Amino acid sequence: MTHRAPEILSPETHSHSVASFFLRQWPYFLMLLLALFGVAYTSVTRQGMTTYWIALAPIFGLISIAGGWQEAETAEEKWRLVRTQVLHWGAVLAAMCLIFIGDVKQMMNSDSSALTVLTVLALGSFTAGIHADVWRVSLVGLLLGLAVPAIAWLEESTLLILLIVAVIAALGAFVFLRDRKPA
């Protein structure tokens, strides 16, 4: 009797599972990338991006609703999900608007306002994931929250941050494209 290694350990299967993982989780990676792009862009240009930050709240809200939609079984649960997420992200949006009010904005430079908005998005994402019962959204919030002090510490190293993001993106593309066969 010959014993074969399980298929799960083969390199081909592993690379496909990594690619399928990224494809299944793309909305949550998008949340991370959009938020971190906002901070990086603000750090490089030294300009505020009020409209960009304000647009992220509804995008994050839609991703939260989509993530919780499958878990909601009845029409009432789906309506409750939509209602609580709209109210939740509306409150996050209101908090972000308070940061961008003229008098408040004058007290902060563009970097500090970007980190403040990132903190609000982190808290909003974390609690939205709890309310929608979508642990991935909560994980995004946790990662964004951890990114705030890391970004503040690396404030002077914006190019390093962009380089790291580029390397991660290149590695992700390599993993995704490595085993694709030409048509």
Residue with tokens 């995704």: 176
pLDDT at 5 over 60: no
pTM of the full structure: 0.71
- In order of 16, 132, 139, 144, the CA distances from 136 in angstroms are 21, 10, 5, 12
pLDDT at 15 over 60: no
Is 60 within 8 Å of 31 (Cβ atoms)?
yes
Say whether pLDDT at 75 is over 80: yes
**Percentage, residues of the chain above pLDDT 70:** 84
d(CA 125, CA 131): 10
Q: Give tens-digit pLDDT for 113-138.
A: 888 999 999 999 999 999 999 999 99
Backbone φ/ψ region at 156: left (φ over 0), alpha (ψ -120 to 50), beta: alpha
